[in-house]
Every structure is written in C-alpha cells, then in structure tokens.
Chains A and B, each alone.
Chain A
Amino acid sequence: MGRVAGNLFGGGDSSRKFFVAASFANAGIVAGSTEATNEGLIPTTTTAATDAMGLTLDTATYSATPAAGATGFITVADRPFSKCEFVMSGGATEGTALTIMTETAGDLVTPDLVSSTNAAANSMIGGTIWRYPGLGHICALRQSRQITAHTASVSVGVTVDFEEAINVGDRFLMCPWTNLPGDGTDTSDGGGNLQFTTLFTQADASIASGTGLVVQIYDLVLMGESDSKVQFVMVNHPYFEVQA
C-alpha cells in the first residue's frame, strides 16, 4: 500500500475528508475524480489518475441509497507535491516478487550486458537495473545503472559499465522506472509513467517503460525482490497541473 514519504517542499502533511462516489476497499491508494462521477472521490484505475487528490488514510463504502448519517466519506492526504511511496510488484497481482536475473555469460563486452533468460518480457529501456543486494538491504547507488538496451528474455544493456566485473551467477533486478530526467519519449523514458497493480496498492514493475498513468518519478529505493520501492509525485492534482 502506498504511503506519503515526505513532500518536495518539506513541512508536515495535511488531510481532508471527502464524500465518495465509489467504495475504497483498501487504505493507501490514490483517490481521484472524473467529470463522469461528480458526486465524490473514486479510486484511480491502474493506468489513469485524473484529478488525483492524494493517498487515502482509511477505507469507505459507497451506497447510492445511504441510511441517515451513513454517507460514505474517506480521509485523503491531500497536500500537493507529496512523495508517494509504493512497493514494487513483479506483476499485476499484489505481492508478486520481482524476477531475479542471474548472469549466464559473464562480463564479455563493453559496455556491460547482463545476459539472463529472466530479462523482462516488456521493454524497460529507460528503466533501472541494479545488483541484487538481498532482502532488507539497500543497493548502493554505484551498483545501479539506467537501461539503454533490452532484449526480452535475453539481455539488458547499459551505457556506463558497472564498477565491478559481472561474473557468471551474479544477480540483478530491473524495473521500468528511473529517477533521472527522461527525454520525454514514450518507450524510452522511465521517469514519467507508472502503473498500479490490480488493487491499486502496489506499483507494477513488469510493465514497459513509458506506459501507465502520468506521474513524475522522484526516487527509487532499490532493495530486494519484494521490498524495493518507487517514489513519485502526482502531476495531475486538482490544485495544480503540470503542462507539457
């Protein structure tokens, strides 16, 4: 589930309560609104977050015929420019671990190429590859690189070599996002899109780079296969909108 990990401008968080136009089964998901549902907030979908107000802090049940005093409402952390932090999932279902790529060829070429049959099926050019540090450990920044070449189920290439040689059996993880500024090109820009899992509680790291709802990736917490996180800022907030 998502949580607020700070704000770009510092300061404390804020929250407000809003009526809902759909049920919120889980806390820690993004609440938004569309013109079609002008009665309250609704959960965003996996690939769209229109007028995303913020992350929910509790749950709510929607009813078109509520009893007296039982209209559903939900608490939302509504401060703009909040850093939303979601756990990476290795698939569309919550709790799926990232696929660990095990090197099969060794450090044969320059720039480095990680060869593994577990390289993701979707193109993650513009994403990030990092050495597997183990569960509960944070990967050092120098052990990560932006992906510049990708062949599904074969290899992942980078432009700048890793500092240490890549030996057979070395393990790596990859995701379709980067905290570096992209060039704005779809399919080669991992800094501007993200996709939620089925219940909207985690970030689907199996998608192709440059697909999903429009956000701005702020940072990556590169850890193990089930505790890595992605932080992003919502750019389609009702109180501001980033123009391309």
Chain B
Amino acid sequence: MEANPGQENEQWLDAKLISLDPLVTLSSIEAGRLGAMELADDLPDIFDRQQGLHLLSPTWAIDHGYAGLIADDINRLSSRFPRHRFVVLAGNEAEQFDLRSHGVDAMVLNTSALVDERIWQVLEPSLENFGTYNAVYNARLMFYKRHFLAAKIPSLLLLHRHSFGVDAEQETSQVRATVPHAVSANERLHQGDYVELSPGNAAIAMAHSRCGLALSAIEGTMKASVEYMLCGLPVVSTAAGGSRSRYYCNPFTRIVGDDPDEVAAAVAHLIEQDFDRHAIRNQVSRLIAFDRHNAMLSINKIIEHGMGSGFRMKSIAPMIAFKQHFSRKARVIERLRQQAADLSGLVDGAKSQ
C-alpha cells in the first residue's frame, strides 16, 4: 500500500524523472527534505551529471520561516552539485514572494494544476444504495483537517486515507466522533470495512455529493479542492494558509469563517445555486490550462538560460498526476531507475532512426 507519509519513520515522497539528457527531475519536499536530491547517493548513474534542473515541490505551505529552511537546504545541495539548478514550485505568487525573499529560485506552479483530469471527471451517481450527500470531505481523519467544522451539514460523505503519526488510531476515532452522522465512503463501499479508494473510485463516490469541503487552517495546495471542481462540485473552504485559494475566484467557491453554522449555510447556499457541473469543470480546467502553459514556459526558459540546452519540454504530460501517490524511498528509487531506462531507450531509439 502506498501513500502513508510518516509511517515507520521513513521518508515518503514522490519523484519523477522528466528528462535524462538534460537531467530534469520533479520531486516533493517533505518536512524540509529535498525529495529526489536525497536519493542522489543511491542513483549516481542518474544524478552524477554536470548539470541538472531539479523542480522541488513542497507538500506543506511555504511561509517565511519555511522558505528560509528550504534556502539552507538548497545552498547545501548547491555546494555539492554546483552546476545544478534548484527551482521550487510555489503554490501561488505569495509563496513566490517568500521564496524569492530568501534568494530561492522559484516558479509558480500549484501542484493542484497537475491533477489528472482524466480521472477527476463529472460523473453521474452510479453506486447502488450509496445515497446522496450535501457535502463531501476528502481528507485524512486528522485533527488539522478540522472535520468538526462540518458538524452542522445534514448529510456528509467522508473520503479518507489512513491517518499517520503517533496515536493515529486514537486521532481517527476522535475526529470521527466530531461528525458522528457522517458516512465513510471507504467503509460503505466495502460492507463496513475500511478500504483504500483508488482515485477513480473516489471520483465515483464524489458524484454522489453536491459540494466539496476544504476545512483545514493550513496545509499545502490541497489537491482535493481542485479535484472536487474537476468533478463539477462547488467548494466551501475556510480561510487557510497554503495556496488552495489560488483557484477560488469563481462564484462556485466560497471562503467562510471557522464556524460550523457558516460552513453549513454556505454549503446549502451553493447547492441552491444549482451550478452546472460541467461549467464548473470547464472553468477550473481553463485556469489549470493557463497555469500549465506558463509552467512550461518557465521550465523551458530555465533550461535555455540555466543549462544552455536545446532541449524543450513540449508537453506537461510527464508531470501529470505528480503526488497522486507518495511512496517509500526504496520504491521511488526503483521507479526512477525504470524511468531512466525508459528515457535512455527513447533516446537510443531516436538516435538509431
């Protein structure tokens, strides 16, 4: 099973090899550890190159202090890999400001723009005896997700992965107790036993709901927020640190106070508006397309100026679904090796033609 960051004190991360020649990687920053770069010792055949571009994506909100820590780590890596470039993906321009204030090279690419829109689609409710819900909250059952703010929503669907950390089980049951009326999609779909939902099944479950929730006070980009909208759901969110508000510029998104009554009223109001699900999806898709376009421009500009390479990314495809699954270090190493082999094959194939 994947995607349980924090378990067994071993790093969980996601990383992708975008290009081998020139070397371009995309990886997560987890608890200040710079993703794929932490694997350089294990993968010398990939990383021991004169030049490289490493796109680093923090999984938690960047603030002034965190930006300083990232700057320190990048400085450390820069002395080891002096001709490699490290560029942090800022979730919005506010995070870009904090990063730039610490001298960190940054580009704006909210990782929610990398969710796979082929998975997160507008679907008709299709599950028998599953019910219909006013709101869905796709979030681990952990305190920081503040499920208690959904307590006043009459019918509530929860999608949740395993909690992690010390006392995870106790935390899970305490969170469940704050929303006793809520239905767990993970359990409902498996006769009461918890089952991890694939993204595809999560999208199918979401179709049974009429609004998405985002209730933490701080986290990262919260991909679920954009996933809701790609599934055609309006979103009610609290004000939050991090960058999920990047896409909250339409009438089908509402930011409310940290008040269960206010959250419930906003959900009811958005349901009453009866937004066209396809229109919601189309609108957020346009914003994502814009962000992807500019990410491509930025990456190619860095490659052109920072590496003097003629290589240009022609498609964002290699970056799509980044962070859909976090894996243990060993699995990531294995996957990067496979990607390197695939990319070498592509290059060799192209040369032989």
Whether both chains belong to one complex is answered with no
